[in-house]
Amino acid sequence: MNRTVLLVAVLTVVGVSAALLLLTDDSHSSSAAPVGPTTAATDLDGERPEPRPGIEGLAPTSTSPASSEPLESSGVLAAILRGRVVDRGGHARSDATVVLWRGGLGGFEHMFGPTALSTQTDGEGRFSLIGVPTNVPIAVEASTSDRAPKRVTVRPLKGGDTRSLGDIVLERGTTLTGLVSDTAGVPLAGAAVVVHDTLAGGALVGQGSTGEDGRYAIEHLAPRQYAMTASADGHATMETVQAFVLGAPGPTWTVDFALAPASERLELTTIDPFDVVVPDVTVRLLQRDPNSPAHFTAEQTSDAAGRLVFEALPAGQFDVTVRSDAWYLTSSVIVRTDSGEHTVRVHPALAIHGLLDPAVDQFSVTIRPDGRSGARVLGGAGLTRQVDGPDPSGTFSWEGLTPGAYHFEVRAPGFALSRSQKLVLGRGIDELDVTIVLLAGGRLVGRIDPNRAGVVVQLRDASWDPASSLEHTFPTPPVFGLSTTTSDDGRFEIDHVPSGRYVVTARLAGMPAVHVKDVAVSDGGTSDVGLLTLRSGGTLTGHVFGPDGLPRAGATVRLASEQHHQTAVTDADGSFVMDAIPAGEYHASAAPGTLAEALRYVAASDVHVRAETTTQLELRLSERER
């Protein structure tokens, strides 16, 4: 798995989540649905499974030993999840594996990854996951060898909770099929096709080989994004990424591959601007199939003489890129297999040297390249470094840079975050020196009413909109990490705040947040935001039902007004809960968890939320108006 594929996967899934939130804005076709007794989770157009009594009295099954340390739960008593795995006909699956997934990957609440906590279903298809972490986004995935995996999002649990998920219904899923041929269209027998899940650490999810007719079939795929490779003896291996994130495309999904003969040889030499050979430079070749999304790649590192020999290549043209923390290309390079030996001219990386005023011995420095200018940090290193005891004091050097514009941010004890001016590296400017003046910053103070200890107070940029519909999917962290908690008398203070304007937010679990906008802070000054009053909010609970009247798992429920926005995802029984909602009038809407279905179905209703009151809302999905 390469980083490009992973990045595509992350952006695709996050984009779908954002789209689901926005899709519900234009719908006012409503409908409230009666509460149904069943807890089955099915597809909208799926068959209704046989009814199953509740399983609250379920006895725990054994949990597989974790291969890593037990999941932490912040010192809070862990929770238990129980349920049953069935097929579409309602028959218990005693051969299912059930795995706990945890959200919050990459800072995104809806980005999930598997944990070490798993178990097997018993003879009646039942399972228990014991030791589930609390107060974090979680999901449960069930799978068998002859069904597609099914992942169900679960509301965060509290310490000591035991929650029943009801029946998790497994479908046969999508069959990935297609033809593997040579570039003349002749079928290739015995070609290997391999499929990996791009968001589960590159986990292998399926593989197969072609028959005499060159065709392959890989069954039981869930609606996700996959990386595929096709290979055959004597032919170039092709790669592609296929996204099922719009929902299951149907019983089959076709992906064809045309593999070119791998009979060509290409010799390259890496040299510097003075024609001196450069060893230890990694060169990557990329050839795209003009008739499909597939591509071929090959990678090697130059030897002591700067030479690279690529064997078994397809004929034609290749794009050349370089991976190195010391060398870069100034422009795109294209080579061909039919034009003899090639030279690849690489240029030495550039550097910036910094001096802090006053000089300090401990600080962190972050480099900010302006990608629009071509600025880039080579080698894949992080953008922040911790500096301890530099010699001389208060200095740092940042190497491995390409031409372009940069600026630096420095954090040091006793000072506000301090920035450099814009620095431009380019032709004839291989190195730059910069002095960064450390500023004391300002002080922000205030008090919470009623007096409460532990209220979280955070600062964000003045342009931040807490009611933005994207905040739930792309949460905005505190600017510069400026955050504190109130003392026993409800007071708070944040020192070393860079001068500027901010939104101040006070947040206590179980209560709506309070926002104060356009708070000015000046260097060396004290800004008092006064008394921030916390008011009780309300709770909204309910269910989302499909057009067939069955509870709909994984649906996104959105609550919106001009001042507040909140979302939730339904559990396996179609239920949802939203807490700490400011009292007022809202528009509530629900959409299925896959974009393909969200384009077709919606539910909407207006609702009034009262403080210290639980409001019940039932939503039933129906066809969108055309």
315 φ/ψ angles, rounded to the nearest 5 degrees? -70, 155
In this structure, the number of other CB atoms found within 10 A of the CB of residue 559 comes to 20
Question: Which CATH number is 79-170 given?
Answer: 2.60.40.1120
Q: Same topology for domains 3-33+537-623 and 174-259, yes or no?
A: yes
Looking at domain 3-33+537-623, its CATH class is mainly beta
User: Which pLDDT belongs to residue 11?
Assistant: 40
* Per-block mean pLDDT, blocks of 10 residues, the chain (626 long): 40 41 41 35 36 30 36 62 91 95 67 89 96 90 93 86 90 93 96 88 88 96 91 97 66 93 95 96 96 95 97 96 94 90 94 97 96 92 91 94 96 95 90 96 96 95 90 84 95 96 94 95 96 95 94 91 90 90 96 82 96 96 89
Give the pair of three-digit tokens for residue 365: 């420095």
No. of helices (H) and no. of strands (E), the chain: 2, 47
C-alpha span between 54 and 163 (Å, rounded):
11
User: Which pLDDT belongs to residue 414?
Assistant: 94
CA distances from 579 to 81, 538, 556, 610 (A): 21, 6, 16, 12
First to last CA, the chain: 41
Question: Which CATH number is 174-259 given?
Answer: 2.60.40.10
Architecture of the domain spanning 449-463+475-526: Sandwich (2.60)
User: Which pLDDT belongs to residue 459?
Assistant: 97
Q: What is the pLDDT of residues 285-331, one digit of tens each?
A: 999 999 999 999 999 999 999 999 999 999 999 999 999 999 999 99
Architecture of the domain spanning 268-287+299-438: Sandwich (2.60)
CA distances from 248 to 57, 80, 112, 139, 544 (A): 34, 30, 19, 19, 21
C-alpha span between 534 and 377 (Å, rounded):
45
Domains of the chain, residue spans: 3-33+537-623, 79-170, 174-259, 268-287+299-438, 449-463+475-526
Helix (H, G, I), strand (E, B) or coil at 22: helix
pTM over 0.85? The answer is no
C-alpha span between 72 and 115 (Å, rounded):
11
